[in-house]
């Protein structure tokens, strides 16, 4: 690790490398132990960072806005790369919007609205970044990324850029081909539909109101904790199992929306994980349905 640090500082002297960086600062759950090494690079720095990490046998974890992650209390060994503020450019050309992977969905939706382009209204309130949204085919209120994606540029494990069409991405409910191929999203190109800006903003405001009314936005969380089982709603199954408000330490099933697990202040990753297991067990016993986590667990627990 020291050798990697020495060589990366020589190769990229302007890159800031954080050591023992608390991951709770980088996840919407506000939990997680330290990452051994943490960087937030520019696009052109990625091949150098990844190539040197591979050469030194350094484990690499790539994150976006941390809005769908539960990081273990013992943290993450090796290197964490945040695709974020250094890779967040958004540009519009006709009805095509190009967004780098670090661009926040709220930023992308606002840019689309300002250009009189509809199709991203559903994503305006999702607290994730473009890279994460593409990777998990994020969706809300009847819209999904697969509805608007035209093509995506990724970096392969061999550090080669590759352009994938919507079909090649194999998009389905909360799924794409990106994780299994160990691709890293660099940029997405969206095909949007011209519409009056006023109408687009009215739709975004309507969905914002729904979110505020129904979701526990005042607490740290990772959004919907479980995937929607076919033919059911996870929140309803959890409520019917008598788990509204159920808590393990400071981790709690939201009383406002049972599909959300919240951090009431000082929850640990272990408490959140235990609560999720308890919920799965109780729902399985009550309804026979197996809930699958939507939240991705990384690091050491």
Residues carrying CATH 3.30.43.10, the chain? 2-85
CB 234 within 8 A of CB 272: no
pLDDT of residue 123: 94
Give me the residues paired with residue 35 across strands: 21, 76
Residues carrying CATH 3.30.465.10, the chain? 88-199
Q: Which fold has domain 216-298?
A: 3.90.78
Residue 45 phi/psi, 5-degree rounding, is: -85, -20
From the list 176, 224, 228, 254, the catalytic residue is 224
SS3 assignment for 36-95:
EEEECCCHHHHHHHHHHHHHHCCCEEEECCCCCEEECCCEEEEEEEECCHHHCCEEEECC
Give the Cα separation of 183 and 152 in Å (integer): 11
- Collapsing DSSP to helix, strand or coil, 222 comes out as strand
Tokens for 149, please give them.
């994606």
pLDDT of the chain, 301 residues: tens digit per residue: 888 999 999 999 999 999 999 999 999 999 999 999 999 999 999 999 999 999 999 999 999 999 999 999 999 999 999 999 999 999 999 999 999 999 999 999 999 999 999 999 999 999 999 999 999 999 999 999 999 999 999 999 999 999 999 999 999 999 999 999 999 999 999 999 999 999 999 999 999 999 999 999 999 999 999 999 999 999 999 999 999 999 999 999 999 999 999 999 999 999 999 999 999 999 999 999 999 999 999 999 9
Domain at 2-85: CATH code: 3.30.43.10
- Collapsing DSSP to helix, strand or coil, 300 comes out as strand
Give the Cα separation of 266 and 64 in Å (integer): 23
Beta strands per DSSP E along 195-299: 221-224, 247-248, 251-253, 260-263, 296-298
Is 30 among the catalytic positions?
no
pLDDT of residue 100: 98
CB 248 within 8 A of CB 238: no
pLDDT of residue 74: 98
CB 132 within 8 A of CB 65: yes
From the list 174, 201, 211, 282, the catalytic residue is 174
pLDDT of residue 2: 86
Q: Quick one: how far is CA 199 from the chain centroid?
A: 28
Domain at 88-199: CATH code: 3.30.465.10
Q: Quick one: how far is CA 64 from the chain centroid?
A: 6
Sign of CA dihedral 15, 16, 19, 20: negative
Q: Comparing C-alpha atoms, which of 46, 43, 45, 21 is closest to residue 33?
A: 21
Give the Cα separation of 129 and 132 in Å (integer): 6
* Interstrand relation of 34-39 and 18-22 (parallel, antiparallel or unpaired): antiparallel
**DSSP H/E element including 275:** helix 269-287
- From the CB of residue 277, how many other CB atoms can be counted at a distance below 10 Å? 12
Residues carrying CATH 3.90.78.10, the chain? 216-298
Give the Cα separation of 121 and 113 in Å (integer): 8
Give the Cα separation of 5 and 2 in Å (integer): 5
pLDDT of residue 1: 83
């Amino acid at each position: 690790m020291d050798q990697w640090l020495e060589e990366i500082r020589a190769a990229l002297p302007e890159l800031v490398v954080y050591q023992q960086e608390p991951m709770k600062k980088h996840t919407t759950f506000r939990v997680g132990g330290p990452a051994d090494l943490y960087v937030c690079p520019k696009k052109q720095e990625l091949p150098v960072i990844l190539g040197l990490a591979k050469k030194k046998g350094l484990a690499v974890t790539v994150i976006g806005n941390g809005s769908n992650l539960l990081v273990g209390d013992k943290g993450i060994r090796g290197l964490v790369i945040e695709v974020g503020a250094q890779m967040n450019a958004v540009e519009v050309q006709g009805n095509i919007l190009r967004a780098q992977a670090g661009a926040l969905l709220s930023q992308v939706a606002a840019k689309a609205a300002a250009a009189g382009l509809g199709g991203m209204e559903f994503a305006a309130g999702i607290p994730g970044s473009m890279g994460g949204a593409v990777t998990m085919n994020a969706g809300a209120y009847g819209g999904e990324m697969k509805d608007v994606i035209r093509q995506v540029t990724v970096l392969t494990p061999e550090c080669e850029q590759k352009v994938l069409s919507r079909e090649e991405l194999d998009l389905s409910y909360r799924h794409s081909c990106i994780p299994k191929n160990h691709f890293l999203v660099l940029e997405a190109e969206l095909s949007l539909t011209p519409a009056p800006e006023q109408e687009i903003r009215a739709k975004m405001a309507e969905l914002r109101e729904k979110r505020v009314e129904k979701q526990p936005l005042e607490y740290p969380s990772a959004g919907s904790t479980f995937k929607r089982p076919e033919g059911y709603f996870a929140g309803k199954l959890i409520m019917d199992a008598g788990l509204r408000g159920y808590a393990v330490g400071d981790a709690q099933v939201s009383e406002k929306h049972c599909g959300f697990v919240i951090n009431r202040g000082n929850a640990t990753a272990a408490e959140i994980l235990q609560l999720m297991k308890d919920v799965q067990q109780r729902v399985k016993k009550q309804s026979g349905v197996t809930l699958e986590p939507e939240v991705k667990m990384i690091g050491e627990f």
